């Protein structure tokens, strides 16, 4: 692992000892972190991001070929992005229009990475704009220095007042670094909610701290001799930074978490929240990130918050058990399961959200009666006998779905084994490790499995296992540790791509643009390295039960057998505005072999 990282973990109590000056500085930083509130800038932002004029009318533009765009389709942010840092779509490069790129100071030469496929290809330098030349460019397509802009850019017939608002907004857009950037150090924080198992909490923090120490140990922020390779742009611009990591551990009920997060943020605003963990709800954390415009970078959560629209500042691996509920609903309908479906869950964690989601999706199925059993109503001593009594009326035509973690499955294995119904369980609540299922339950058990098949995982996670072994870190929860390892690596690569354009929105935009190509390239590099330093690994053929891909809806490209990732997931991708990088799951069962390996019952399902 080429992690380049160090540690500066601050607790709330330690921060308080900084005194009045430190708190005052933090309060000033918090003011910077707030969303746009100036009426003039807010009007400019609305025009830029949504295509709505201050009058309420829709923005309208026309391209040289005569095609017209209006409203949200005409918004500048569609192509230039919310950060104003531009975008790349195939061979089309949309240049940055943030303030320091349109109006650079004398001697300033701002650069931005434009094409991740070709090293560090930079945007082309152009002459600085004036207010008048920018207005001419927007209205007629005549760029600075008389160079025409792309024919894909609409020409907008903006009045002087609206043009002034837009220009004012662009002048300040992505000019100053976002909060969390502190004198060659970038501050991150990780969030831990109550109820996380001590061993999972410990391995999360051990991995984060180890990686940050490793990063900072190889980061050079002065002219001293280098100890590792960097890109040409990083070398010329000197854009490497050290990392600082704060631990934000929450306490009490979820309704109090918002205030705790605000207190942590007031004392030391982070550039982004890095990883994080929760077994219950993540909604207060996501809400905090959305209101404060702080990227939430791939936390390990059992279930993402439910909402009609995808969040803007939160990136997730998947929807967690809510994705499994969606896949299970499709599976139930496809298999035409009837009779009774009994879900076993705990009301105090994310399993209750999964059970509620599946019940809602199957509510109109006339052939199926769905119910739930809450284990929290009994003590551990009472639960096995009570559950056995609840399940005694079920037959082989019925279905039992266990939204349970390994400890509960071990506790209840006698009651579950005695029941002859068809059994399903959550793969993510098992930690992705098939071996966590008690041996006695495997014969009649299927998993909703949102991960790559074990043979794929073995290849994808080889480097993570080497990294853990070299740093003497135990394997506690493979799914969690795979996610943390990826979050750290991908953040390292993404921050390198930002160069000195340290803006929160830009980080998210680079993630959307990079993740798919980065994963494929990383997987290819790792396979080549393994070939060079080790004997060639025998290729494992695809399971004959998995149909060859048809590249239609619901069929994933990774079923070709190609390796496309470096995580426990088969492939991670994001499109513009997408926030869930893995979007499907398998239904798997245990084989009859002594090792009890898994085999897929069908193709990767994308609900």
What are 347-389's pLDDT values in tens digits?
A: 989 999 999 999 999 999 989 999 999 999 999 999 999 999 9
Strands 155-156 and 113-115: unpaired
pLDDT of residue 557: 40
**C-alpha–C-alpha distance, residues 315 and 285, integer Å:** 12
Give the mean model confidence (pLDDT) for residues 520-537.
54
pLDDT of residue 518: 80
Lookup result for tokens 């490069």: 93
**C-alpha–C-alpha distance, residues 147 and 137, integer Å:** 9
Q: In sequence order, what are the beta bridge partners of 323?
A: none
Give the mean model confidence (pLDDT) for residues 74-98.
90
Of 260, 54, 243, give the one whose Cα is nearest residue 160.
54
Topology match between the domains 1-34+178-318+454-532 and 321-449+589-600 = yes
Of 220, 227, 114, 97, give the one whose Cα is nearest residue 166.
97
CB-CB contact of 569 with 560 (8 Å): no
pLDDT of residue 326: 98
CB-CB contact of 99 with 174 (8 Å): yes
pLDDT of residue 523: 65
124 has pLDDT over 70? no
| 3-state SS assignment for residue 435 | helix
Q: What are phi and psi of 236, to 5 degrees?
A: -70, -45
85 has pLDDT over 70? yes
Angle subtended by helix axes 383-391 and 406-418, to nearest 10: 40
What are 250-296's pLDDT values in tens digits?
A: 999 999 999 999 999 999 999 999 999 999 999 999 999 999 999 99
Q: Judge residue 208's burial from the number of C-beta atoms within 10 Å of its C-beta, 0-12 exposed, 13-18 middle, 19 or more buried.
A: buried
pLDDT of residue 510: 93
* Cα angle 529, 486, 88; round to 5: 90
Confidence of residue 397 (pLDDT cuts 50, 70, 90): very high
**C-alpha–C-alpha distance, residues 577 and 160, integer Å:** 32
433 has pLDDT over 90? no
**C-alpha–C-alpha distance, residues 218 and 229, integer Å:** 10
Confidence of residue 183 (pLDDT cuts 50, 70, 90): confident
34 has pLDDT over 50? no
**C-alpha–C-alpha distance, residues 324 and 196, integer Å:** 21
CB-CB contact of 94 with 88 (8 Å): yes
pLDDT of residue 240: 86
Angle subtended by helix axes 351-361 and 321-335, to nearest 10: 30
Angle subtended by helix axes 257-267 and 20-33, to nearest 10: 110
117 has pLDDT over 60? no
**C-alpha–C-alpha distance, residues 96 and 81, integer Å:** 9
What Å distances lie between residue 361 and 328, 353, 429, CA to CA? Answer: 10, 12, 21
Confidence of residue 29 (pLDDT cuts 50, 70, 90): very low
Give the mean model confidence (pLDDT) for residues 491-495.
94
Confidence of residue 211 (pLDDT cuts 50, 70, 90): very high
Give the mean model confidence (pLDDT) for residues 71-76.
95
Confidence of residue 524 (pLDDT cuts 50, 70, 90): low
Give me the percent of the chain exceeding a pLDDT of 70: 82
* Cα angle 224, 227, 233; round to 5: 80
Give the mean model confidence (pLDDT) for residues 48-75.
95
Q: What are phi and psi of 601, to 5 degrees?
A: -80, -15
Confidence of residue 224 (pLDDT cuts 50, 70, 90): low
Higher per-residue confidence, 284 vs 549: 284
What are 316-338's pLDDT values in tens digits?
A: 999 999 999 999 999 999 999 99
**C-alpha–C-alpha distance, residues 434 and 429, integer Å:** 11
SS3 per-residue string spanning 501-539 = CCCHHHHHHHHHHHHHHHHHHHHHHHHHHHHHHCCCCCC
**What are all long-range contacts of 552-559, with beta carbons under 8 Å and residues at least 24 apart?**
553/606, 554/584, 554/603, 554/604, 554/605, 554/606, 554/607, 555/603, 555/604, 555/606, 556/584, 556/603, 556/604, 556/606, 558/452, 558/456, 558/604, 559/603, 559/604
Q: What is the mean pLDDT of the chain?
A: 85
Sign of the torsion formed by the C-alpha atoms of 407, 408, 409 and 410? positive
Domain spans in the chain, listed from the N-terminal domain onward: 1-34+178-318+454-532, 35-172, 321-449+589-600
pLDDT of residue 143: 83
Give the mean model confidence (pLDDT) for residues 485-492.
96
Architecture of domain 321-449+589-600: 3-Layer(aba) Sandwich (3.40)
pLDDT of residue 533: 42
Higher per-residue confidence, 123 vs 18: 123
State the Cα torsion 412-414-417-422 to the nearest 10°.
-30
Beta-carbon count within 10 A of 490 CB: 23
Lookup result for tokens 């599946």: 358
Give the mean model confidence (pLDDT) for residues 186-205.
97
Residues in the chain, how many?
607
pLDDT of residue 307: 85
Give me the percent of the chain exceeding a pLDDT of 90: 67
Give the mean model confidence (pLDDT) for residues 141-158.
88
CATH 1.10.760 fits 35-172, yes or no: yes
CATH topology of domain 1-34+178-318+454-532: Rossmann fold (3.40.50)
* The two three-digit tokens of residue 145, written as one number: 């220095």
Confidence of residue 105 (pLDDT cuts 50, 70, 90): confident
pLDDT of residue 107: 77
**C-alpha–C-alpha distance, residues 578 and 1, integer Å:** 27
Confidence of residue 145 (pLDDT cuts 50, 70, 90): confident
86 has pLDDT over 60? yes
């Amino acid at each position: 692992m080429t992690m380049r990282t160090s540690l500066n973990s601050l607790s709330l109590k330690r921060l308080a000892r900084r005194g009045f000056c430190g708190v005052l500085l933090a309060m000033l930083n918090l003011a910077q972190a707030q969303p746009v509130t100036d009426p003039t800038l807010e009007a400019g932002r609305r025009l830029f991001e949504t295509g709505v004029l201050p009058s309420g009318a829709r923005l309208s533009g026309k391209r040289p070929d005569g095609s017209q765009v209006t409203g949200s389709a005409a918004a500048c942010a569609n192509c230039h992005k919310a950060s104003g840092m531009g975008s790349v779509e195939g061979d089309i490069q949309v240049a940055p229009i943030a303030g320091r790129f349109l109006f650079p100071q004398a001697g300033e030469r701002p650069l931005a990475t434009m094409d991740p496929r070709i090293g560090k290809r930079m945007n082309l330098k152009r002459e600085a704009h004036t207010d008048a030349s920018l207005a001419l460019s927007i209205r007629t397509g005549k760029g600075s220095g008389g160079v025409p802009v792309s024919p894909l850019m609409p020409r907008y017939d903006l009045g002087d007042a609206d043009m002034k608002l837009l220009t004012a907004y662009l002048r300040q857009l992505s000019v100053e670094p976002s909060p969390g950037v502190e004198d060659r150090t970038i501050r991150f924080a990780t969030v831990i909610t109550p109820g996380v198992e001590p061993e999972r909490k410990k391995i999360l923090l051990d991995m984060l701290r180890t990686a940050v120490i490793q990063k900072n140990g190889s980061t050079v922020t002065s002219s001293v001799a280098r100890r590792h390779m960097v890109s040409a742009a990083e070398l010329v611009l000197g854009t490497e930074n050290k990392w600082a990591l704060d631990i934000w551990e929450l306490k009490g009920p979820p309704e109090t978490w918002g205030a705790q997060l605000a207190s942590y943020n007031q004392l030391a605003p982070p550039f982004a929240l890095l990883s994080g963990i929760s077994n219950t709800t993540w909604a207060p954390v996501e809400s905090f990130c959305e209101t404060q415009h702080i990227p939430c970078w791939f936390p390990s959560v059992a279930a993402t918050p439910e909402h009609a629209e995808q969040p803007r500042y939160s990136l997730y691996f998947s929807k967690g058990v809510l994705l499994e509920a969606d896949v299970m609903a499709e599976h139930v309908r496809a298999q035409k399961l009837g009779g009774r479906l009994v879900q076993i869950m705990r009301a105090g964690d994310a399993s209750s959200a999964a059970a509620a989601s599946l019940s809602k999706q199957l509510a109109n199925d006339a052939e199926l009666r769905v119910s739930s059993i809450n284990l929290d109503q009994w003590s551990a001593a009472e639960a096995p006998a009570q559950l056995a009594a609840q399940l005694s009326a079920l037959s082989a035509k019925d279905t039992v779905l266990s939204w349970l973690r390994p400890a509960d499955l071990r506790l209840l294995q006698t009651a579950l084994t005695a029941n002859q119904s068809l059994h399903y369980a959550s793969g993510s609540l098992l930690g992705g490790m098939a071996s966590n299922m008690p041996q006695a339950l495997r014969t009649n058990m299927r998993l909703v499995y949102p991960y790559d098949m074990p043979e794929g995982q073995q290849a994808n996670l080889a480097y993570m296992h080497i990294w853990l072994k070299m740093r003497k870190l135990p394997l506690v929860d493979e799914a969690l540790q795979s996610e943390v390892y990826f979050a750290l690596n991908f953040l390292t690569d993404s921050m390198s791509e930002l160069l000195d354009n340290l803006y929160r929105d830009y980080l998210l935009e680079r993630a959307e643009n990079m993740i798919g190509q980065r994963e494929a390239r990383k997987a290819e590099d790792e396979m080549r390295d393994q070939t060079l330093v080790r004997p060639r690994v025998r290729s494992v053929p695809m399971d004959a039960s998995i149909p060859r891909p048809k590249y239609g809806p619901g069929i994933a490209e990774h079923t070709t057998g190609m390796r496309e990732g470096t995580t426990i997931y088969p492939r991670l991708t994001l499109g513009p505005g997408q926030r869930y990088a893995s979007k499907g799951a398998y239904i798997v069962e245990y084989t009859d072999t002594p090792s009890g390996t898994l085999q897929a019952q069908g193709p990767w399902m994308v609900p």
